[in-house]
Structure 1
Amino acid sequence: MLNKWEGIILKSIPYGESNKIVTIFTKEAGKLTAMARGAKKPASRLAAITQPFTHGTFLIRTGRGMGTLEQGERGESMRFIREDLEATAYASYIIELIDRLTENNERIQGIYELLYDALHAIDERYDPEAIALFVEWKMLPVAGIHPVLHQCANCGATEGEFAFSFQEIGFLCHRCFHIDKYLIRISPTQLKLIRTFYTVPIHRVGNLTLKKTTKQFMKKLVRTIYDEQVGIRLKSRSFLDQLESTPELLPRKEKPEEEGE
């Protein structure tokens, strides 16, 4: 069967002398792999459209086993992602996270839109670190983690002072602080921001700018959940950690006025 699907290239692996095996996250059919014959040849019509981050429309022949990529038409170029080291690093992390948490031919509502919105936002030069945080929080349910963020995870209270509990994987109100001696105290602004990361679509937020300390705090929370509850290790995260420890590797950029705590 020949299918015309919108999608984004997650990864492209050389196969043999001239072919590639590409992983594509499609809007209509979820994630799938396909053979792109001859795509390693520079003159191939498949060479350009099988690069990671490529958004476009793909003509894929499916049947038993792996599909075959017959042709494709590029959509958004994602040029900035390809040219900027920091954008490339965070986009790679987002792609690897989504790839690791999803299965081939598994259709999960909202994942393609999340991937597209995230890459589009980074390509539009929104803060890639903040965009990655959105993806990390929103992918928790896909990883089987459903944090309780709308009320106290213990008593169900919706008002009062709150803290974050890794034991309960969610918020605890001040009446229930005693059940977790290792809880993390949070401000009302931080509580609101966590809920925003988890529930609000990226395209509805706009260009959110946050203080570095705020992003570090949010990153510590969500990555502790992944480390303790999900247990995946991503190569792209190691590179992000290296960039974090050696900021001189990145070109200097103008800093926007920051919000948050």
Structure 2
Amino acid sequence: MLIKFEGIVLRARSYGESNQVLTIFTEQQGKMAIMARGSKKTKNRFGAVTEPFTEAIFVCYKSTGMGTLSQADPIASHYRIRADLLLTSYGAYWLELIDKATEENQSHRVLYHFLVEGLNRLEEGVDPDILTRMMELQILRTIGSAPILNRCASCTKEKVPIRFSVSQGGFLCQDCASEDPYAFHITKPVAYIMRTLAEAPLNRLGHIQVKSETKEQVERLIHAFINEYFPVSLKSFTLLNQIRNTWK
């Protein structure tokens, strides 16, 4: 049976001397693995669509087990991301996060379209740190572990947040600050930026200028949350930090 789907290549691994197994994040079927036979050979017709970040319309033959790629029509190669080491590092982190957060054959259409738009904005020069925090929050929302940022996580009232609590699941107001003695102190700019990043649609995101210290604190808070609710070791994030440090 032939099946046709739109998707983005998350990763490719070698299978034998000339084949590759592609892990593709699709709009309809979620994550799936397909065999690209001969794709490592020079001038193979599938060579252009096996790179990570590639968005394409794929056609594969599937009966039982893994499908076999029979046709692919590129939509976007995102070459500008792959040609820039720093952007590649950010993008690779996004793809690994999605790969680790999703199961095969489980559709996540909102996350799929978020990734499509995110890669476009990354190519357009939008602050990659801002985009990455938005991607992290979207993935946490996908797995049902997003922090509560629109009200107090304890009393549920819409009060001014002064703490961020990992154990309580989000912002805490003055009255509830004592609920978690280990909660992070936050400033108004940090609270505002976190709420904005959680709520703003990517396709309407304008040019955001955020002070470096604010971005660093937001990253620290979100990663404390990720480490608690999504405790998966990500090699791509370690590599991203190493490359960021060399560019400072």
What percentage of aligned pairs have identical amino acids? 37
Shift of 1:194: 1.0
Counterparts of 1:66-81 in structure 2, within 5 Å, are 66-81=66-81
The aligned residue for residue 86 of structure 1 is 86
Counterparts of 1:18-167 in structure 2, within 5 Å, are 18-167=18-167
Read off the aligned partner of 1:153 and give its amino acid letter. Answer: A
Q: RMSD across aligned C-alpha pairs, in angstroms? A: 1.5
Change (3 A) 1:161 1:198: closer
| Alpha-carbon contact 2:190-2:217 (below 8 Å) kept | no
| Alpha-carbon contact 1:138-1:199 (below 8 Å) kept | no
Counterparts of 1:94-243 in structure 2, within 5 Å, are 94-243=94-243
Could you tell me the TM-score, scaled by structure 2's length? Answer: 0.94
| Alpha-carbon contact 1:20-1:38 (below 8 Å) kept | yes
| Alpha-carbon contact 2:189-2:214 (below 8 Å) kept | no
In 1: Cα distance, 2:91 partner to 2:16 partner = 27
Shift of 1:143: 3.3
Shift of 1:161: 4.4
Identify unmatched segments of 5+ residues in structure 2: none
Read off the aligned partner of 1:218 and give its amino acid letter. Answer: V
Q: Name the count of aligned residue pairs.
A: 248
SS in structure 2 of the partner of residue 236 of structure 1: helix
SS in structure 1 of the partner of residue 198 of structure 2: helix
| Alpha-carbon contact 1:153-1:170 (below 8 Å) kept | yes
Identify unmatched segments of 5+ residues in structure 1: 249-261
Could you tell me the TM-score, scaled by structure 1's length? Answer: 0.90
SS in structure 2 of the partner of residue 57 of structure 1: strand
Change (3 A) 1:55 1:165: same
| Alpha-carbon contact 1:138-1:197 (below 8 Å) kept | no
Shift of 1:99: 0.6
Read off the aligned partner of 1:23 and give its amino acid letter. Answer: T
